[in-house]
Amino acid sequence: MAMSFSPATPVRSIFQRKSLASLEFLTCYSRGTGYEKCHLNIGIAFTLRSAANYVRLGGGAKEYSGKLIVTKRNCPKRTGVFRCATIEEIEAEKSSIEKDVKERMEKTIETVRTNFNSIRTGRANPSILDRIEVEYYGTPVSLKSIAQISTPDSASLLVQPYDKSSLKVIEKAIVSSDLGLTPNNDGEVIRLSIPQLTSERRKELSKIVAKQAEEGKVALRNIRRDALKAYEKLEKEKKLSEDNVKDLSSDLQKLTDEYMKKIETIYKQKEKELLKV
């Protein structure tokens, strides 16, 4: 319970400053006149002794108590080890970013090429069946992994499965695809006749190819964006200077332009095949 001081009972106080290395707080317990028990921890502690009461002082607080005194002075302790990256580590990070960019851009080119090959032209091409998946014993597998595909002539394809029991599921997969082909199953092999494309169909397919080419270019730009963010992160970490980032960004743009040209080249080739009668 808080107690007030009266002139009749003056407070006699003795300040004792104890400088203790690496101390944090002092907790004092009062059990009667002139008795105190203090527990010291990290920090600088001050004790106050009086005949009848104890006063808690700390951070400007004014509080009186006859039972418990707790004085705390928190001193945040900062510890840590700072280690600068070596030149070898920085070069390794840069090389890792560059390697990742090239691998992803190469995969983008392959994806665009595969998509183009799946679009049939007026000539028979086994690659138009590359994206056909067959449910083989409950597991989806690519057609070319369970059958041999050949071109007996320029207007037909021959599908010869390694396991003849898979003829039915192969036929079903081809019918379900968007190729618009009608398979001829004779119990031994499947023959596919490649009809000539109409002028309207050629234009439709040309638009599809153009869209796929643009999607490939967007993918390349996204890869470039990710690499730029990685370089900026290294700059914030003080591993690269602003000039370093500018040089790397310039090289990255040149690489992106190079792969953009590759997409444009295979797009023009495919467009030429589609429009050729």
Question: Is the confidence at residue 36, as pLDDT, over 60?
Answer: no
Q: Name the more confident of 186 and 16.
A: 186
> Nearest to residue 145, comparing CAs of 170, 124, 125?
170
b/e for 244-255, b at 16 or more Cβ within 10 A? Answer: eeeebeeebeeb
* Inter-residue contact 120 to 179 (CB < 8 Å): yes
Instruction: Note the pLDDT of residue 33.
Output: 43
Please say whether the beta carbons of 152 and 142 come within 8 A.
no
Question: If you average pLDDT over every residue of the chain, what do you get?
Answer: 75
The phi-psi region of residue 157 (left if phi > 0; otherwise alpha if psi is between -120 and 50; otherwise beta) is: beta
84 band by pLDDT with thresholds 50, 70 and 90: low
What SS3 class is residue 239? coil
Q: What is the mean pLDDT of residues 140-159?
A: 88
| pLDDT bucket at 30, cuts 50 / 70 / 90 | very low
Looking up tokens 């031994």, which residue turns up?
A: 188
Helix H or strand E encompassing 212: helix 199-236
Residues 6+ apart with CB under 8 A from 244: 235
Report pLDDT for 79.
Answer: 52
Q: Which pLDDT score, from 0 to 100, does residue 60 have?
A: 42
Would you state the pLDDT for residue 74?
A: 53
What is the phi-psi region of residue 26: left when phi exceeds 0, alpha when psi lies from -120 to 50, beta otherwise?
A: beta
